[in-house]
């Protein structure tokens, strides 16, 4: 692993790092924020997964997470959204290929050779950061849009690995949305039964969640019909699952929306990550 940049930030350290990934078959870049509390001992980790077209950098520079993470003693890891580089398959459309990995393990050519973001986040990058930084093995996960979809699916399928989950304007029902059906068919093939394990509304219906879930959604979001928050809210109600789906008046899909509620999400995760495990 190489440290590309390192900057002091709210008495902690913001780093950008690269490393060769066996899972993705190419060099990968990620960012990690270490709060000042990490200088005296391991701190819990909040994973932030970004949305379509983003890299590790967007939320790192626009989300405003560092100040809140420093106040609550959490590290924040910002992975990239896809593999990149020469020889990595891509598409002319913004919503497929590089920048649009959808946090799945692709099984269909030409994507299967590199597009394994589910395993990358869940296992390879997790093991790397735990081995290289002063981090406790306590993990929360959140994300925005495509990243909210990734956060929810990773947490719901791996409840032994995550202690808390939230999302900002997640793609909540991708098997029934044009933000999902296109990508899932490209990466996984036309058998829709294989898509279900990457749909948080389906997963929540099947597995539930061990604690409460926090979802913030801008009521003025220009992509609301593609995100389908009503599907996830309906499952919460049917299962009587503890959780909040908050429609925030006037907010759109931008990082202004994410930054406005980042502090509440960090506090939500900190409350759970600092609790003793049962």
Question: Among all residues, which ones are annotated catalytic?
Answer: 145, 221, 253
Q: Which residues contact 141 (CB under 8 A, 6 or more apart)?
A: 46, 47, 49, 151, 154, 155, 162, 164, 165
What six digits make up the tokens of 154?
């990773």
Calculate helix-pair angle for 146-157, 200-207, nearest 10 degrees.
20
How far CA 182 is from CA of 63, 84, 112, 197, in Å, comes to: 28, 20, 16, 16
CA dihedral (138, 105, 79, 178) positive or negative? negative
Peptide linkage before 32 cis (omega within 30 of 0): no
Q: Which residues contact 160 (CB under 8 A, 6 or more apart)?
A: none
Whether the Cβ atoms of residue 111 and residue 50 lie closer than 8 Å to each other: no
Q: Strand 2-9's sheet: what is its strand order? A: 2-9, 12-21, 26-34, 75-79, 43-49, 135-143, 164-168, 213-218, 243-248
d(CA 266, CA 115): 29
């Amino acid at each position: 692993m190489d440290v590309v940049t390192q900057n002091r930030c709210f008495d902690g350290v913001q780093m950008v790092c690269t490393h060769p990934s066996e899972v993705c078959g190419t060099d990968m870049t990620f960012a990690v924020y270490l709060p000042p509390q990490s200088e005296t001992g391991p701190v819990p980790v909040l994973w932030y997964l970004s949305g379509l077209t983003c890299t590790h950098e967007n939320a790192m520079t626009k989300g405003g997470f560092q100040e809140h993470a420093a106040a609550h003693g959490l590290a924040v890891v910002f992975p990239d959204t896809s593999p990149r580089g020469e020889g990595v398959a891509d598409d002319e459309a913004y919503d497929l290929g590089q920048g649009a990995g959808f946090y799945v393990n692709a099984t269909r050519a030409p994507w299967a050779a590199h597009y394994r973001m589910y395993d990358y986040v869940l296992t390879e990058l997790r093991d790397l950061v735990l081995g290289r930084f002063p981090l406790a093995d306590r993990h929360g996960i959140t994300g925005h849009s495509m990243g909210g979809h990734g956060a929810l699916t990773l947490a719901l399928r791996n409840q032994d690995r995550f202690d808390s989950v939230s999302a900002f304007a997640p793609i909540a029902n991708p098997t029934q949305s044009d933000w999902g059906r296109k990508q899932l068919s490209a990466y996984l093939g036309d058998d829709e039964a294989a898509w279900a394990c990457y749909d948080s509304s389906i997963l929540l219906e099947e597995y539930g969640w061990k604690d409460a879930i926090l979802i913030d959604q801008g009521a003025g979001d220009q992509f609301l019909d593609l995100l389908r928050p009503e599907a996830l809210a309906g499952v919460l109600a049917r299962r009587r699952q503890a959780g909040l789906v908050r429609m925030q008046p006037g907010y759109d899909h931008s990082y202004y929306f994410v930054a406005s509620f980042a502090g509440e999400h960090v506090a939500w995760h900190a409350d759970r990550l600092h609790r003793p495990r049962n």
